[in-house]
Amino acid sequence: DGGITQSPKYLFRKEGQNVTLSCEQNLNHDAMYWYRQDPGQGLRLIYYSQIVNDFQKGDIAEGYSVSREKKESFPLTVTSAQKNPTAFYLCASRVGGDYEQYFGPGTRLTVT
Amino acid sequence: QQPVQSPQAVILREGEDAVINCSSSKALYSVHWYRQKHGEAPVFLMILLKGGEQKGHEKISASFNEKKQQSSLYLTASQLSYSGTYFCGTVTSGSARQLTFGSGTQLTVLP
């Protein structure tokens, strides 16, 4: 079955540690996105990539980094520079053009 | 700039109707609607494009007023499964298709 996978579902880290969140899709989609969601809030765009080896900052990129070495994969690293990293992180992909974004199940990151 | 959704929350009885609104201060290329259950990923409902084209589920109804940069989602004869938080996402540029989401409308359908 085609879809987007994010792992792990829950992640716990100590403050000051970098952590990488996985996002893989087998939908053959060109565009991929990372969003952050805080309790009771909407989704805010962190980074997005429209093609392999290219990505752009979203609205809240500070303290985060990404790579897009393969079409299927778009990992997000939450660095120690991110002041409030505890949040629900969602990855999405889109085939291109005027089509919807498909979301992965999300990773809930807790940093203490 | 984030689109504004209204109302923030609504409670319905099964079978009742509801309208959720989304308004932007910027000229829009398209509006996307998603529903999210607690702790889950958002699920796509509909896209409304400038020019009148719509893509989405047949049972979902929505409108897009290009002059006012407003969109409305119409939920008729609501079912318990309609409960969740509804988000609109707006696209201002046709090139990157970058979505900016509103803060959501929490819909609760009671039996």
pLDDT (mean) for A77-85: 93
What integer pLDDT is reported at residue A60 of this predicted model? 95
Which residue's entry shows tokens 């049972």? B59
Q: ∠ at Cα B102 (B48, B43), nearest 5°?
A: 60
Handedness of CA A6, A10, A15, A16 (dihedral sign): negative
Average pLDDT for chain A = 93
The pLDDT of residue B60 is 81
Please state, in angstroms and rounded to a whole number, the distance separating the CA atoms of residues A75 and B27: 32
Would you kindly state where each structural domain of chain B is located, as residue ranges?
4-110
pLDDT above 90: residue A78 = yes
> Percent of chain A having pLDDT more than 70?
98
Strand A107-111 relative to strand A10-13, pairing: parallel
Phi-psi region of A96 (alpha: psi -120 to 50; beta: other; left: phi over 0): left
Q: Which among B57, B101, B103 is the top mutation candidate for probing chain A, defined by the most A β-carbons within 10 Å of its own β-carbon? A: B101
Identify the band that residue A25 occupies on the pLDDT scale cut at 50, 70 and 90: very high
Answer whether CATH 2.60.200.20 is correct for domain B4-110: no
Residue B37 Cα, gap to closest chain A Cα (Å): 11
B32 chain-A contacts, CB cut-off 8 A = 100-101
Q: What is the pLDDT of residue A96?
A: 77
pLDDT tens per residue, chain B (111 residues)? Answer: 899 999 999 999 999 999 999 999 999 999 999 999 998 999 999 999 988 888 887 678 999 999 999 999 999 999 999 999 999 999 986 666 789 999 999 999 999
CA distances in angstroms from B8 to A25, A62, B80, B105, listed in the order given: 33, 29, 19, 5
- Rounded to the nearest angstrom, the minimum Cα separation between B3 and chain A is 10
